[in-house]
Amino acid sequence: MPVANLRRKHSSRKTLPPKRGADLLHTPLLNKGTAFSREERIKLGLLGLLPPAVSDPETQAQRVLTNIRKRATALEKYIDLLSLMDRNEHLYYKVVMANVQELMPIIYTPTVGQGCQLYAHIFRRARGLFITRHEKGMMKEVLRNWPEKDIRVIVVTDGERILGLGDLGANGMGIPVGKLALYTACGGVPPSQTLPITLDVGTNNQKLLDDPLYLGVRENRVKGAEYDALIEEFVKAVQAVFPKALLQFEDFANHNAFRLLKKYQDRACTFNDDIQGTASVTLAGMLSAGRILKRRLSDETILFHGAGEAAIGIADLVVNAMTAEGTSKKDAMAKCWFVDSKGLVESTRTELQEHKVPYAHPHKPIRELADAVRAIKPTALIGASGQAQQFTKEIIEEMSRLNARPIIFALSNPTANSECTAEQAYTWSKGKALFATGSPFDDFVYEGKTHVTGQCNNAYIFPGVGMAAVATGAKRITDEMFSEAARALAALVSEDDLASGCLMPPLSRINEDSAKVAAAVAKLIYKRKLATEPEPKNILAAVKAKQFKPDYPKYA
């Protein structure tokens, strides 16, 4: 019996696994470690291969947490958790799902950035598929090498723009692995139905090419027609081998991300999380801020620092939301301004990339962000440039002079790249800022009041969208679905959350909240007739029934 088939069955009844003995212990989604009962050990050829004591899952989880918490650095914890995933996936998810607020910063941002930088140096065991240009004409064959056949969610990167760290080549595999761990831990997508992929099309990072431990191809990046042909073959191969799979593009550089999304979003079940997921969670934060300020999204004037995938994606979704409120698209776009590396994006500039042109409004040239704040007088300042400490004391004080409660989102990842810290935002605004970040920050007390910083983490969005696609068998993923996900997420922010200044619901209940986001998106999928699965009477209950639970299979 194929392992994938077994995994779909063993959660509901006792069944014998397809492997025995040491092979069983070396299969992460079948292994139970010291939790195998004596009866199971006798039946499955495990006697003598494990210490004699039988541990219950709670004891195993406590052992894992105790050891992780003893580690001196976040990177050591990251390595420990990856090693656990490689040994025992049920235990890994049991630990992560029960401690998601503590461990999400370890398994994903910000620690995953360091994990990617050092990928070749901390390498233990391969996870996922690596596909290079040398596999041209063979991609279906490569995909069929993956042991699981019922793949529903794929995260793929080409490693060119990893977080705010740039071109990391094959080292970028840490991103799809971490992202898919969150699809499961936060959204409940069964891990056997996920597949991380790195398209190793080379790297222009000379430091990596000179590193004797680097594990990718030692070539400069493929580009142009050859690159496009590789992507085309890859997408078609995915559709042929895994026809029910959602394909998420992750950490592609700006010059490829926008055009690939435009090219494939109507041809495949696909989306780009850096563009659409970031946009959705940020829109949710803006909607939450609007609840505090008692005003519509259309009343905001937004200045973005950065004009790449994230910033343009946010603006596009914000414009859609404003038009849904009755504002014309022209007026909505006029409320979104950008400052990039050359200054204010305005209509006299002739060198603008295509994705910036629609937001190049008439205005005199401005070089510095602080001058743009004074001229544009924004109600919201959103950082998505990947550049640290760009929101200076002068800028935040000016935002606070212009607004009774300035909206300030410092979204750049990892933490070292954040435009400002929580302490700076609250101190320089004298506690007035409605503040959210891309990376986690501790609560900050200013003049006796505790301010809780909401993390605009895409993990609030993409796991729910992915679970909706899995539950419905979605044919396509649309921008409208991300708007719906944002509204669903914003509705989950309580009045108590808002009172503390937090614009997001607690991470501690993200699995439950992701099911609600998934249900909202699934409802829209059915409404737009994009589902291939029959519509259930209770969509939320159906989503929850399909969510992965980290409970061990019973073999005896």
Annotated catalytic residues are: 108, 179
CA distance 504 to 285: 7
Query: With contact defined as beta carbons under 8 Å apart, do 284 and 490 qualify?
Result: yes
Q: Which two tokens stand for residue 181?
A: 């761990």
CA distance 7 to 148: 10
3-state secondary structure 425-464: HHHHCCCCCEEEECCCCCCEEECCEEECCEECCHHHCHHH
Which amino acid would we find at residue 519? A
Q: Are strands 444-446 and 449-451 parallel, antiparallel or unpaired?
A: antiparallel
CA nearest neighbour of 518 among 460, 472, 552, 468: 468
CA nearest neighbour of 455 among 496, 491, 493, 495: 493
Q: Which two tokens stand for residue 480?
A: 């409208």
Query: With contact defined as beta carbons under 8 Å apart, do 485 and 521 qualify?
Result: yes
Query: With contact defined as beta carbons under 8 Å apart, do 365 and 344 qualify?
Result: yes
DSSP assignment letter at 502 = -
Q: Which two tokens stand for residue 286?
A: 């803006």
Q: Which two tokens stand for residue 299?
A: 């009343």
Q: 70 Cβ partners below 8 Å, 6+ apart? A: none
DSSP assignment letter at 47 = T
Q: Is the peptide bond before 190 cis (omega within 30 degrees of 0)?
A: no
CA distance 23 to 110: 35
